[in-house]
Structure 1
Amino acid sequence: MNKLLFILCFALLFTSCSVEDNNISVVGTWKLTARNVVDGFDINNDGTVDTNILNEVDCVNNETLIFETNGVVSSNKTYNPDIDIALLDGTTDDYIFNVTCDEQGIIGFATTYTQDMNTVTFNDNEFTIIGNQLSREIKESIKIYNEDFTEIVATKDLTLIYTKQ
């Protein structure tokens, strides 16, 4: 009986260590490397549809998140193009795109974050760490308007992906 109890305690201790080893630290600098949307768009009209909007827009991207050991996350370089999308009347996949790059100013912030295993939370936003990538899905973030931009006719989810530098 004592031997069985010892084996169970040892197995529990070993399992606890294994789980701890799989915990990836968020501390460091993470650069925005993808703004993915399912099915993608050909915003730059080059004939190639891409799911990563960063590959379709010529706006400067310097967005980084910096996570410190003291529980603070900050960003002072934010990628924030304004993209208006309209579906051409009578079509199901023909769009008009109006893109404005706002590169005049810097949008920055600093706040606290928490990490629970591979989940990082700040400003009520939950991110997931998988390998060297930090991702967040934003439901119905992409709004698609009718041709005269007066009514939202569809939405798409957006997934932000940051890569550890």
Structure 2
Amino acid sequence: MKRIVLAFTLVTLLVTSCTTDADDNTIEGIWTLTEWNISEGFDIDGDGVTNRNILNEIECVNNETLVFESNGTVTSKNTFNPNITIALLNGTSNDYVFDVACDEIGVISFASTFTINGNQVLINDGVATLNGDTLSCIFVDAIKIYNEAYTEVVATKDLILVYTHR
């Protein structure tokens, strides 16, 4: 149930706080999730390489797309929704323990409307800006970092989703 609530929350945030980047006003078409960035990044897979793009750190399948239609609707299917729990080890400032569970239960889809005003895209209450073939959505403080006992949130990080226009 927590995973469904988290997925619904992320989808709601996506619809209400998405910002996009493109030089022309071409938003219609399919946008593929290409980055799932966390500000300073982490080495979740333990290979010694820190990545901001968590898609490079975990083995969960990602098929998430956004589809912008000419009739002003945007839809999403196959929402990427891993459950990543991060804990800071006691007495350290940058040593973490990670628990990653890929979403194998199903997908959460959504449909909404959007409008374009110049190079800005309005999706529900969110404002997006077109710039080339990328679309970036920032979710402030969406990633929680817990203490080692998982009893308290000791820090938060922004999550930045980046989509690429196909």
TM-score normalised to the size of structure 2? 0.82
| Structure 1 residues not aligned, in runs of 5+ | 1-21
Shift of 1:24: 1.9
Of structures 1 and 2, the one scoring higher in RCO (CA 8 A, sep 6+) is 2
| Structure 2 residues not aligned, in runs of 5+ | 1-22
User: C-alpha distance in 2, partners of 1:134/1:110?
Assistant: 17
Q: Which amino acid aligns with 1:98?
A: D
Going from structure 1 to structure 2, the CA distance change for 1:46 and 1:105 (only over 3 Å counts) comes to same
Identity %: 53
User: C-alpha distance in 1, partners of 2:61/2:42?
Assistant: 19
User: C-alpha distance in 1, partners of 2:28/2:84?
Assistant: 31
Q: Which stretch of the first structure deviates more once superposed, 101-110 or 66-75?
A: 101-110
Aligned match of 2:125: 124
User: C-alpha distance in 2, partners of 1:121/1:50?
Assistant: 30
Would you say the 8 A contact 1:129–1:135 is kept in 2?
Answer: no
- Superposition map of 1:7-18 within 5 A: none
**Of the two, which has the highest radius of gyration?**
1
User: C-alpha distance in 1, partners of 2:128/2:59?
Assistant: 26
- Equivalenced residue count is 144
1:61 equivalenced with 2:52 (yes/no): no
Aligned match of 1:38: 39
Q: How large is the Cα RMSD of the aligned pairs?
A: 1.2
Aligned match of 1:18: none
Aligned match of 2:16: none
Aligned match of 2:143: 142
User: Following TM superposition, where does structure 1 have runs of at least 4 consecutive aligned residues deviating by more than 4 angstroms?
Assistant: none
Would you say the 8 A contact 1:60–1:103 is kept in 2?
Answer: no
Q: Which stretch of the first structure deviates more once superposed, 103-112 or 148-157?
A: 103-112
Would you say the 8 A contact 1:31–1:64 is kept in 2?
Answer: yes
Aligned match of 2:107: 106
Aligned match of 1:76: 77
